[in-house]
């Protein structure tokens, strides 16, 4: 077992709202909290807090509060922030939905989470509205923030005039957000994250990330993902920094906003690092204001990270975590000079074990050099309380001692620096987004011509991880791989597309019927 090398930090026993807004000084209240990137429209902390309170009041007036789940299907726009924190302030729980999801995927999450309302925007109303309809919500339960015929708008909510309710919840047990993650196996499950989990992760990362009120942070990573929610949104809010929102990644707009808004701090995933290191357009913009770039959500190639640092003349760091850890457990501190293929040190108030998956034995921190690889287990105040309505998955992931089994293989150096070296679990990451093989396999089985299937992640020509399906056809059928790719693409969000298909005679399985993914991976490696 090894602990964070940093002293413990104080984790206030308060709700997310109180943590972010209770101590807002008059001076800070007049600072700009949010800038809508495309329009330049600014919202101060005072205005934001008033909107949060108004949304909370309007929800309370509708009878939404403690025990209710509300869906949020919305790109990065300032209204996301008012609504997200308004729902929490009302005592309800937010389930954040990927804004590229198809109606089928949105419905599945809304149904699973038991959502009573959905907040969305006009461009996503086709998917959101159909999903809401499918699970039996009425038009009045679907708030379209920018206004749409027949639905309440954000303006309607802001003008209800009911004061924010006085909600008393225990921050340690009350669930604030319910993001979905497949964890180490199976399909996506609701991850129960409490107010304390979220407050803790901001408090834990805050001393290491060194964000100040002078920082201007570009919010291009989606708020609906826990990385965007905790490390971007909540950290920037508590630091009273300025967040510049971007609804979707577009390299030119990204560069333009960094230049025009004088952004100083960028949070990215590895695909954006590729663009920043290699794209010719980058040279056309003045990006000198940027001092720090933090990459996370998937492994950053060290040479690529170094290339970004040199081209932008800034520091590039890496963080690691998972949705089930709210999400951060490891980070390279902003001012530490550590190799970029590592994920830095264990953050404060956090303990780890490295466990040999074959023997179950602990691998200790060596006196010098680097340890053998083992599965990384993490315990700390940021670790989820469990999965929604899934005691089995919870028991498989969280042990009796409170350690979360990450499904990632890591090594640790004598000085405590951790490097992620492999993934044990089924999960595939495409551009930093989760792809659950079990979900694609289940979908493929609904295709008339498919008798069996297995999905794993392979590396494409650029070294990018992509989902590949092995498919066994029904006898006498002759559908092509490309047809299967197109068929899946119609039914899933873009990141979940199957990008390679191989028609095979049989899927390798254990005697108990489990897909032997190891064998498929070995087959890929032998090519």
**343 contacts ligand AYL (rule: CB under 6 A):** yes
- CA distances to 99, 442, 508 from 505, in Å: 37, 18, 10
Q: According to CB under 6 A, which one of 328, 443, 466, 507 is a site residue for ligand AYL?
A: 328
| Token pair listed for 324 | 């089930």
Q: Which is nearer to ligand AYL, 80 or 227 (CB)?
A: 227
Q: Which is nearer to ligand AYL, 77 or 231 (CB)?
A: 231
Where does residue 478 rank: exposed (0-12), middle (13-18), buried (19+ CB within 10 A)?
Answer: exposed
What b/e sequence results for 312-322 when a residue is b if at least 16 CB atoms lie within 10 Å of its CB, and e otherwise? bebbbbbbbbb
**DSSP summary character for residue 35:** E
Listed ranges 79-87, 240-248, 317-325, 352-360: which one lies at the site for ligand AYL (CB under 6 A): 317-325
Q: Which is nearer to ligand AYL, 204 or 434 (CB)?
A: 434
**321 contacts ligand AYL (rule: CB under 6 A):** yes
Instruction: Write down the least CB distance from residue 258 to ligand AYL, Å.
Output: 19
Residue linked to tokens 């008012």: 82
CA-to-CA distance for 121 and 446, rounded, in angstroms?
Answer: 31
Q: According to CB under 6 A, which one of 75, 129, 171, 299 is a site residue for ligand AYL?
A: 299
- CA distances to 108, 227, 359 from 102, in Å: 10, 22, 42
Listed ranges 33-41, 51-59, 76-84, 289-297: which one lies at the site for ligand AYL (CB under 6 A): 289-297
Listed ranges 158-166, 192-200, 319-327, 442-450: which one lies at the site for ligand AYL (CB under 6 A): 319-327
CA-to-CA distance for 437 and 297, rounded, in angstroms?
Answer: 18
**434 contacts ligand AYL (rule: CB under 6 A):** yes
Instruction: Write down the least CB distance from residue 269 to ligand AYL, Å.
Output: 8
Q: Which is nearer to ligand AYL, 282 or 420 (CB)?
A: 420
**318 contacts ligand AYL (rule: CB under 6 A):** yes
**319 contacts ligand AYL (rule: CB under 6 A):** yes
**298 contacts ligand AYL (rule: CB under 6 A):** yes
Instruction: Write down the least CB distance from residue 267 to ligand AYL, Å.
Output: 7
Q: According to CB under 6 A, which one of 186, 296, 374, 457 is a site residue for ligand AYL?
A: 296
- CA distances to 304, 342, 349, 352 from 346, in Å: 23, 11, 9, 8
CA-to-CA distance for 261 and 304, rounded, in angstroms?
Answer: 25
Is the C-alpha dihedral spanning 469, 474, 480, 482 positive or negative? negative
Q: Which is nearer to ligand AYL, 108 or 434 (CB)?
A: 434
Give me the 207-246 binding string for ligand AYL, x by CB under 6 A, dash otherwise.
-------------------xx---x---------------
The neighbour count for residue 281, using CB atoms within 10 Å, is 11
Q: According to CB under 6 A, which one of 322, 352, 363, 435 is a site residue for ligand AYL?
A: 322
**DSSP summary character for residue 381:** T
The neighbour count for residue 259, using CB atoms within 10 Å, is 16
What residue ranges in 198-338 does DSSP mark as E strands? 216-219, 242-245, 265-268, 292-295, 315-321, 328-331
Listed ranges 61-69, 71-79, 119-127, 327-335: which one lies at the site for ligand AYL (CB under 6 A): 327-335
Q: According to CB under 6 A, which one of 208, 331, 347, 444 is a site residue for ligand AYL?
A: 331
Count of residues near ligand AYL by CB under 6 A: 25
| Token pair listed for 57 | 């009041």
Instruction: Write down the least CB distance from residue 86 to ligand AYL, Å.
Output: 25
**272 contacts ligand AYL (rule: CB under 6 A):** no
Q: Which is nearer to ligand AYL, 43 or 204 (CB)?
A: 204
Instruction: Write down the least CB distance from residue 493 to ligand AYL, Å.
Output: 14
φ/ψ of residue 508, rounded to 5: -65, 130
CA-to-CA distance for 352 and 339, rounded, in angstroms?
Answer: 20
Instruction: Write down the least CB distance from residue 408 to ligand AYL, Å.
Output: 5
**77 contacts ligand AYL (rule: CB under 6 A):** no
CA-to-CA distance for 71 and 74, rounded, in angstroms?
Answer: 10
CA-to-CA distance for 1 and 41, rounded, in angstroms?
Answer: 49
The neighbour count for residue 506, using CB atoms within 10 Å, is 9
Q: According to CB under 6 A, which one of 254, 320, 345, 377 is a site residue for ligand AYL?
A: 320
Instruction: Write down the least CB distance from residue 447 to ligand AYL, Å.
Output: 27
Query: Residues in the chain, how many?
Result: 527
Is 147 in contact with 155 (CB distance < 8 Å)? yes
φ/ψ of residue 221, rounded to 5: -70, 140
CA-to-CA distance for 253 and 246, rounded, in angstroms?
Answer: 8
The neighbour count for residue 271, using CB atoms within 10 Å, is 16
Contact positions with ligand AYL (CB under 6 A) in 153-192: 181
Q: Which is nearer to ligand AYL, 135 or 209 (CB)?
A: 209
Give me the 393-432 binding string for ligand AYL, x by CB under 6 A, dash otherwise.
-------------x-x-----------x--x-----x---
Q: Which is nearer to ligand AYL, 43 or 98 (CB)?
A: 98
Q: Which residues bind ligand AYL (CB under 6 A)?
A: 181, 226-227, 231, 294, 296-299, 318-323, 327-328, 331, 343, 406, 408, 420, 423, 429, 434
């Amino acid at each position: 077992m090894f602990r964070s090398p940093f002293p413990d930090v104080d984790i206030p026993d308060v709700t997310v709202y109180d943590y972010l807004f209770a101590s807002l000084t008059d001076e800070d209240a007049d600072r700009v909290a949010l800038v809508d990137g495309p329009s330049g429209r600014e919202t101060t902390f005072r205005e934001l807090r008033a909107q949060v309170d108004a949304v909370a009041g309007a929800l309370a007036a509708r009878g939404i509060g403690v025990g209710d789940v509300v869906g949020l299907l919305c790109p990065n726009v300032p209204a996301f922030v008012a609504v997200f924190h308004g729902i929490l302030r009302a005592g309800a729980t937010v389930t954040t939905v990927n804004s590229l999801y198809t109606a089928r995927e949105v419905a599945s999450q809304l149904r699973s989470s038991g959502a009573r309302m959905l907040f969305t925007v006009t461009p996503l109303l086709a998917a959101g509205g159909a999903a809401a309809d499918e699970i039996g919500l009425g038009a009045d339960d679907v708030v379209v923030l920018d206004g749409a015929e027949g639905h309440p708008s954000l303006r309607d909510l802001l003008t209800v005039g009911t004061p924010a309710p006085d909600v008393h919840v225990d921050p340690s047990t009350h669930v604030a957000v319910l993001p979905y993650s497949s964890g180490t196996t199976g399909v996506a499950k609701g991850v129960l994250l409490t107010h304390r989990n979220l407050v803790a992760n901001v408090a834990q990362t805050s001393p290491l990330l060194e964000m100040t009120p002078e920082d201007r942070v570009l919010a291009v990573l989606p708020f609906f993902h826990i990385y965007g929610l905790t490390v971007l949104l909540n950290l920037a809010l508590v630091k009273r920094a300025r967040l510049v929102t971007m609804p979707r990644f577009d390299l030119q707009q990204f560069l333009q906003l960094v230049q025009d808004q004088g952004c100083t701090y960028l949070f990215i995933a590895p695909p954006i690092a590729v663009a920043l290191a290699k794209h010719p357009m980058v040279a056309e913009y003045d990006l000198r204001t940027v001092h720090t770039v933090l990459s996370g959500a998937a492994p950053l190639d060290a040479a690529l990270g170094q290339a970004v640092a040199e081209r932008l003349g800034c520091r590039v760091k890496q963080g690691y975590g998972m949705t089930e850890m709210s999400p951060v457990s490891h980070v390279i501190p902003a001012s530490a000079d550590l190799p970029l293929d590592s994920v830095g040190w264990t953050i404060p108030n956090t303990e780890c074990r490295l466990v040999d998956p074959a023997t179950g034995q602990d691998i200790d921190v060596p006196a010098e050099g680097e340890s053998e690889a083992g599965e990384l287990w993490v315990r700390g105040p940021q670790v989820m309380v469990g999965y929604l309505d899934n005691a089995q998955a919870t028991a498989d992931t969280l042990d009796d001692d409170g350690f979360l089994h990450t499904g990632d293989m890591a090594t640790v150096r004598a000085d405590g620096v951790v490097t992620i070296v492999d993934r044990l679990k089924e999960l595939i990451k495409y551009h930093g987004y989760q792809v659950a093989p079990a979900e694609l396999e289940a979908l493929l089985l609904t295709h008339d011509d498919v008798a069996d299937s297995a999905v794993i992640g392979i590396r494409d020509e650029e070294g990018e991880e992509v989902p590949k399906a092995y498919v066994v056809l029904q006898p006498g059928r002759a559908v092509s791989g490309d047809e299967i790719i197109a068929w899946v693409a119609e039914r899933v969000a873009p990141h979940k597309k199957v990008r390679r298909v191989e028609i095979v005679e049989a899927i390798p399985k254990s005697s108990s019927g489990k897909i032997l993914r190891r064998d498929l991976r070995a087959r890929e490696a032998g090519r």
